[in-house]
């Protein structure tokens, strides 16, 4: 699969995960057009590509001590950053954040398996 096709697929997977989370998780709200949601997916892809490896490197010992549970906290932190900087996303409460993190983790897992 070509590089641009993989990039587009991962952005679509992120946008789809955000849309699914907004449909089924109370307290997780998306607004705006489809282009805004795709832009959020692209920003989340950037976070996953550049920020997540740095955080994983520095928090590696904590990830090992918590048997991988810290990776969920890293993913939740990236979604929270997206919530802070985007006017099109609103997450109300920790439970909505954790459930959306699980949805996004599954979306990224499926994306990784298919590309």
Per residue in 61-99, pLDDT tens?
Answer: 999 999 999 999 999 999 999 999 999 999 999 999 999
pLDDT value, residue 46: 94
Query: Which helix or strand (DSSP H or E) is residue 89 part of?
Result: strand 89-91
Ranges of each domain in the chain: 3-114
Per residue in 44-59, pLDDT tens?
Answer: 999 999 999 999 999 9
pTM more than 0.75: yes
Q: Are 36 and 59 in contact (CB under 8 A)?
A: no
Q: Judge residue 13's burial from the number of C-beta atoms within 10 Å of its C-beta, 0-12 exposed, 13-18 middle, 19 or more buried.
A: buried
Query: Where residue 2 falls among pLDDT bands split at 50, 70, 90?
Result: confident
- Which one is predicted more confidently, 3 or 21? 21
Distances (CA, A) of 72 to 46, 81, 85: 17, 14, 20
Nearest Cα to Cα of residue 20 among 110, 86, 93: 110
């Amino acid at each position: 699969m070509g590089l641009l096709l993989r990039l587009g697929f991962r952005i679509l997977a992120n946008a789809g995960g955000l849309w699914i989370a907004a449909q089924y998780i109370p307290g997780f709200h998306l607004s705006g057009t489809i282009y805004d949601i795709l832009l959020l997916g692209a920003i989340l892809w950037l976070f996953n590509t550049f920020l997540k490896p740095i955080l994983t490197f520095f928090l590696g010992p904590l990830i090992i001590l918590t048997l991988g549970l810290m990776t969920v906290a890293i993913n939740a932190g990236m979604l929270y950053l997206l919530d802070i900087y985007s006017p099109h996303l609103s997450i109300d409460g920790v439970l909505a954040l954790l459930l959306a993190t699980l949805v996004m983790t599954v979306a990224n897992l499926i994306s990784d398996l298919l590309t």
